[in-house]
């Protein structure tokens, strides 16, 4: 005799189909799952499930919010990875939706940008994006990432390497050792060709090449 669940040979009564009680329970679960899949695929039952779900959500809004908030707090890293993967797969759709939303809600967009720029955490990111914009305009190749730039700023501990004044990490600007005006088309900028300076030192430097 062969067990219908684990497919092992066993000795027993002719009407016996499984080798043990565990195997019989597992087999029953599998049969129930297969039946439920077929049962839920019917049109009438799909409508019933949708209507029941809507009614349950309306009655238990606060309960669902609490469960969702709890899950988000416990699984922040999973959410970040999922959002990043989803964005990479659906870049074009995301850009189209964002453009449509910006056209419909110009006031909300301006409020969001103001709040984002005012925060000290985001100032380093804004400077990095400005450099990227200039890079596109002049066809300059950037061979370093945002993470490398932020790590270089953190090593300074907010002290300007030229005047050695403690300005703070968020007030250090991105300076090109070879200025962008003197740069040729297609010039490559690595992390070694860039340095963090305070605003006054960066302005005084001008077009000169200073390390």
Contact present, 136 and 145 (Cβ < 8 Å): no
What's the 3-state SS for 159-180? ECCCCCCECCHHHCEEEECCCC
In order along its 211 residues, the chain shows pLDDT tens digits of 788 778 888 777 777 778 888 888 888 888 888 888 888 888 888 888 889 999 999 999 999 999 999 999 999 999 999 999 998 899 889 888 888 988 898 888 888 888 887 777 777 777 777 777 666 666 777 788 888 888 888 888 888 888 888 888 888 888 888 887 777 777 888 888 888 888 888 888 776 776 6
User: Residue 210 has what pLDDT?
Assistant: 66
Topology (CATH) of 119-205 = DNA Binding (I), subunit A (1.10.30)
User: Residue 68 has what pLDDT?
Assistant: 93
């Amino acid at each position: 005799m062969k067990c219908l669940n684990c497919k092992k040979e066993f000795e027993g009564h002719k009407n016996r189909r499984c080798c043990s009680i565990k195997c019989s329970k597992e087999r029953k679960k599998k049969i129930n799952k297969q039946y439920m899949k077929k049962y839920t695929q019917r049109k009438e039952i799909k409508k019933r499930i949708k209507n029941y779900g809507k009614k349950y959500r309306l009655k238990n809004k606060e309960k669902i919010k609490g469960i969702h908030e709890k899950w988000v707090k416990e699984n922040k890293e999973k959410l970040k990875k999922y959002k990043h993967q989803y964005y990479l797969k659906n870049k074009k759709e995301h850009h189209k939706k964002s453009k449509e939303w910006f056209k419909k809600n110009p006031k909300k967009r301006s409020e969001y940008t103001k709040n984002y720029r005012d925060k000290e955490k985001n100032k380093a990111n804004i400077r990095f994006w400005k450099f990227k914009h200039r890079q596109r305009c002049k066809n300059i190749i950037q061979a370093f990432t945002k993470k490398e730039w932020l790590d270089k700023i953190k090593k300074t501990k907010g002290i300007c390497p030229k005047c050695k004044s403690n300005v703070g990490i968020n007030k250090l600007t991105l300076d090109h050792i070879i200025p962008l005006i003197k740069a040729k088309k297609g010039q490559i900028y690595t992390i070694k060709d860039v340095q963090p300076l305070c605003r006054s030192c960066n302005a005084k430097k001008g077009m000169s090449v200073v390390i």
